[in-house]
């Protein structure tokens, strides 16, 4: 990252033609002393992790889990084909009404997020003594909230290690999707700013995948934690366009 920043700084203004985020930041370094190479390299790493690594890995997990459950693929295809067939032009983009109507697709996404737990934990600091039952967390201590401890709790989710999107119909009726039981994007004032965007992107991806393509597994993937979720040597599928 630092080498890339130095390379951009060495270029003359007329040579900077990319117009990307890094180029704008390098230009701002001239007038803002707070923007150091160290700060920008950390910033870029964070952006890459948050905007690419999380969503691509989660989508990979989604495809892997769907591949293992053909009946879910059929239901996903049925729901998404239904909204496409109602359009005057099948190539028209998804509307807000269509997005809201994709109930089962959202249940699939929720179940993937529940089981995936891409981030191993969220760090917070106690700004005052916190009393939890007979325990006291002293002011100033660092707290690590572990989503998997919540998302895989058998008292909340029956058979928590089973991929079952249909569970979300009952969970929604019982208001289990509250922050107390489902926090894939964190919670409170530090909620991930890309939470809703990520869910929309995943919905659009599944809509296109289910209606336009079929796929089969070529090589299974191994899920690793280092410490975030990943697939090590990848997950391989063969994709074919459906005949219209």
pTM: 0.82
| pLDDT value for 82 | 93
| pLDDT value for 178 | 66
| Tens of each residue's pLDDT in the chain, 244 residues | 888 888 888 877 777 677 788 888 888 888 888 888 888 888 888 888 777 888 899 999 999 999 999 999 999 999 999 998 888 887 788 999 999 999 999 999 999 999 998 888 888 899 999 998 899 999 999 999 899 999 999 999 999 999 999 999 888 766 666 668 899 988 888 888 888 999 999 999 999 999 999 999 999 989 988 888 889 889 999 999 987 6
| pLDDT value for 216 | 95
| pLDDT value for 134 | 92
| pLDDT value for 214 | 94
| pLDDT value for 24 | 85
| pLDDT value for 93 | 87
DSSP secondary structure of the chain: -HHHHHHHHHS-GGG-----HHHHHHHHTTT-TT--HHHHHHHHHHHHIIIIIHHHHHHHHHHHHHHT-HHHHHHHHHHHHHHHHTSSSTTSPPPHHHHHH-HHHHHHHHHHHHHH--SS-EEEE-SS-EEETTEEE-TT-EEEE-HHHHHT-TTTSSSTTS--TTHHHHHHHTTTTSTTT--BTB-GGG--TTHHHHHHHHHHHHHHHHHHEEEEEEE----EESSSEE-TT--EEEEEEPP-
| pLDDT value for 175 | 66
């Amino acid at each position: 990252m630092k080498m890339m920043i130095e390379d951009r700084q060495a270029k003359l203004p007329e040579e900077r033609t990319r117009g990307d985020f890094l180029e704008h930041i390098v230009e701002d370094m001239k007038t803002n002393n707070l923007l150091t190479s160290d700060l920008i390299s950390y910033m870029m790493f964070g952006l890459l992790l948050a905007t690419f690594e999380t969503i691509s890995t989660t989508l990979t997990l989604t495809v892997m889990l769907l591949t293992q459950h053909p009946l879910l693929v059929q239901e996903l295809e049925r729901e998404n084909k239904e909204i496409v067939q109602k359009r005057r032009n099948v190539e028209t983009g998804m509307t807000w009404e269509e997005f809201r109507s994709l109930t089962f697709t959202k249940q699939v996404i929720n179940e993937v997020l529940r089981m995936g737990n891409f981030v191993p934990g969220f760090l917070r600091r106690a700004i005052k003594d916190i009393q939890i039952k007979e325990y006291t967390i002293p002011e100033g201590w660092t707290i690590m909230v572990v989503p998997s401890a919540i998302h895989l709790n058998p008292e909340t989710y029956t058979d928590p290690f089973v991929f079952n999107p249909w569970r979300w119909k009952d969970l929604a009726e019982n208001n289990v999707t509250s922050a107390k039981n489902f926090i894939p994007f964190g919670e409170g004032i530090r909620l991930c700013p890309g939470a809703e965007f990520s869910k929309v992107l995943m919905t659009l991806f599944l809509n296109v995948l289910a209606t336009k393509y079929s796929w089969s597994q070529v090589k299974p993937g191994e899920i690793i934690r280092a410490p975030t979720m990943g697939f090590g040597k990848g997950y391989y599928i063969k994709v074919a366009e459906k005949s219209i």
